[in-house]
Structure 1
Amino acid sequence: MRDRAEATVSERASKPNVVDFTTAAKASRAPGSRRANLPDHPDAELIQACVEFGIAVQGMNGAFEVDPTDDADFAQRMDSALLKRARKQQELIATLRPTTLDGLRAKATVANMALTNDLDRSSALLSSLCTDVANVHRSSKNTAAVVLT
């Protein structure tokens, strides 16, 4: 009996455990994580951040519109959480560079929303957008083409 146990231990020792970190990384990622189910688009991360920004800003606006209390007591409770979320996305968006016109349009819409809603830190986003527009223009084949009529 002892010989069999020693043989089993010896066999296990000769086969070291190997951890496949690629599988472990995928397993540790939450199934609903942000990057897990993004559409296949070159600017997916940028557009997703823009959508999340829009949800936060419009959520703030909607909360104040619906709240019937004089001091917007209910909406103010939601406002700080949504504002924090909007600021986080705004900072991320300012660092991401679009590679498509879809990404550029999404970023421009966010910049407009940030300025319209008088969110602080809009200048960094606007500056980033200006750089993006210049980069798109510089990479265009025919910059003299009429695109607006």
Structure 2
Amino acid sequence: MLDFAEDTVSERASKPNVVDFTTAATASRAPGSRRAHLPDHPDAELIQACVEFGIAVRGASGGFEADPTGDNEFAQRMDTALLKRARKQQKLIATLRPTTLDGLRAKATVANMARTFDLDQSSALLSSLCTDVTQVHRSSKNTAAVVLT
């Protein structure tokens, strides 16, 4: 019986643990982390930030609609947290450059929402969007093409 135990220990010792760093890098991310499960899209980070911004600003207004109290004390607590999140996403969006029309459209939609909700950094986002539109226009082959609406 002792010989069997010694054989098992020596077998384990002869097989060192091997860490595959290619899978360890993705496996070490928290399940809820931003990039853990993004769709495969060239503008995934930008579009995800735009979606999170939209959820934050539209979620805040939904909270006020659902709050039955006269002074909106329940919604106000959530509103503060959501608007903080929206401002963080807005700042990130202003720094990201779209590489596809999907990314440009998402950023334009957020710029319109930011203007509607009048958040602090709307002018930086609008300026960034204008730069993006100019860059997309310059890189287009046929800038005189008619775009159907």
Tell me which interval the TM-score lies in, with the shorter structure as reference length: 0.7 to 0.9
Structure 1 unaligned runs (5+)? Answer: 1-14
**RMSD, matched Cα:** 2.5
Residue of structure 2 in register with 1:46 after alignment: 46
After TM superposition, the runs of 4+ consecutive aligned structure 1 residues lying more than 3 A away are: 15-24
Q: Any residues of structure 2 matched to 1:19-30 within 5 Å, and which? A: 21-30=21-30
Q: CA deviation at 1:22?
A: 3.9
* Partners of 2:114 and 2:122 within 8 A in 1: yes
Compute the TM-score of the two structures, normalised by the length of structure 2.
Answer: 0.84
- Find out whether 1:101 has 2:101 as its counterpart: yes
Residue of structure 2 in register with 1:118 after alignment: 118
Compute the TM-score of the two structures, normalised by the length of structure 1.
Answer: 0.84
Q: CA deviation at 1:86?
A: 0.4
Report the 3-state secondary structure (helix = DSSP H, G, I; strand = E; otherwise coil) of the residue aligned with 1:98: coil
* Partners of 2:38 and 2:44 within 8 A in 1: yes
Task: Give the count of matched residue pairs.
Answer: 149
Residue of structure 2 in register with 1:72 after alignment: 72
Distance 1:19 1:46 in 2: 32
Q: CA deviation at 1:20?
A: 5.0
Aligned amino acid, residue 33 of structure 2: S
Structure 2 unaligned runs (5+)? Answer: 1-14
Tell me the percent identity: 87
